Amino acid sequence: MLNFQCLKFMCVFIFTCINIWPIIGADLSIVINASDDETKMPPVVASTNTAQKLILVESIPVSISLPPKKAMITGIAGQDGAYLAQHLLNLGYIVIGTYRRTSMDLSRYFWRLDKMGISHHPNIIFKTCDVSDSSSCFNIFQEHPDVCEVYNLAAQSFVKESFTTQTSTLDVDGKGPLNLLEAIRQKNKAIRFYQASTSELFGKVQEIPQSETTPFYPRSPYATAKQYGHWMTVLYRESYDMYACCGILFNHESPIRGEEFVSRKVAKAVAQIKKGIQECVELGNIDAKRDWGFSGDYVKAMHLMLQQSTPEEYVIATGKTYTVRYMVEKAFARVGMIIRWEGSEDQERGIDTATSKIVVKINPKFYRPAEVDLLIGDASKAERELGWKAEVSADQLIDMMVDAEMEQTL
């Protein structure tokens, strides 16, 4: 009788594993209760623990341990890299974070990860990788062949700088994605690949709002390089049956944005002006309109794109647009300062109504050679297919960034 029971158990167990293994891999914990009542459906319980999967067969618990997913993030030291790393670690991933070799002290280089408290997380591994060098890309996959997802966030992403660093921008933003895609094609085509595209691809916009089907019209070396990376991603997907997709993300900011970007520049200047550390801030085209969202929201969309049955492109945006002028006014209002505008064009000034001091000046050196006047995204496809929607509004984002700077300057 004992041998018959053991044989029965083994047969049921093997049959169960064969039939539900794909579901287990989809990050579900499934409980199957054998019963004489064949009309009962086995309950399915969602779980966030990818490491332990529990199966009950005739009330006998059998634990199956699966290794956590391993994801690679290129450009992990940047704003999006830090937020994405935090998100993936919270989901139970092991994260391989790559960065370009630097002479800078690494504690300073990874200041964003330190600020978020994850630089010493046990499930994060840092590796050097120069995406502009094909051999470097091949080597990283040779060292980590079990990576299942790659998020390519490595980029020279400051638009104005790209007008003076055209070649290096193309090497990183254009050839970088190609090098990674080719390494994946040769090493392991099962790896899922995310390419960070940009709303700057729309440039001189051909329709309002911009969606996945809006024609591109890049207006900077940065956007042109990104367009190359975008279409190479699509080409590899269609030519080699790879899971490769692009996220066309509109402007997304946070308190850990680089200081060269206008959102952080304004937030920091407002805090320092309020504290008497700085007299005024100089800006370029304050009437440019942008669709601003929060980076912490947008990285969640990146992850969702790699969890779909088929790879596709998605616009990620809030669907609302504001001028830089509005951002300036809202940021100063956050610290109790009301701005009055006087003059026009290059001579326009922002005046603090309480003190009559000039706190904003226009400086033509901050103009782009080819301006992008209006960006506003249509993210309805992402909302419909990914279940994604921006949670933080532009007003909340501005307040968040100014508050963070005020804390820094106390």
Amino acid 17: pLDDT: 52
The pLDDT tens digits for 71-81 are: 999 999 999 99
Of 50, 93, 53, 56, nearest to 71 (Cα)? 93
Mean pLDDT of 34-57: 40
Helices in 257-372 by DSSP H: which ranges? 262-274, 295-305, 324-334
213, amino acid identity: T
Amino acid 50: pLDDT: 42
Q: Is the pLDDT of residue 409 over 60?
A: no
Amino acid 62: pLDDT: 56
Mean pLDDT of 279-298: 97
Answer whether 151's CB lies under 8 Å from 84's CB. Answer: yes
The pLDDT tens digits for 12-37 are: 455 555 554 444 444 433 333 433 33
Query: Which parts of 218-353 are beta strand (E)?
Result: 244-249, 252-253, 281-283, 289-290, 293-294, 314-316, 322-323, 339-342, 349-352
Q: Is the pLDDT of residue 321 over 50?
A: yes
Active-site residue 198, yes or no?
Answer: yes
* Candidates 149, 200, 313, 405; catalytic one: 200
Query: Could you give the 3-state DSSP secondary structure of residue 242?
Result: coil
Amino acid 14: pLDDT: 52
Active-site residue 233, yes or no?
Answer: no
Mean pLDDT of 195-200: 97
Across-strand partners of 64?
53
* Candidates 83, 194, 222, 322; catalytic one: 222
Domains of the chain, CATH where assigned: 2-65 (no CATH), 70-257+298-319+383-393 (3.40.50.720)
18, amino acid identity: I
| End-to-end Cα separation, the chain, in angstroms | 77
Amino acid 157: pLDDT: 86
Amino acid 30: pLDDT: 35
Active-site residue 260, yes or no?
Answer: no
Answer whether 24's CB lies under 8 Å from 66's CB. Answer: yes
Query: Could you give the 3-state DSSP secondary structure of residue 58?
Result: coil
The pLDDT tens digits for 203-217 are: 999 999 999 999 999
* Candidates 198, 214, 233, 318; catalytic one: 198
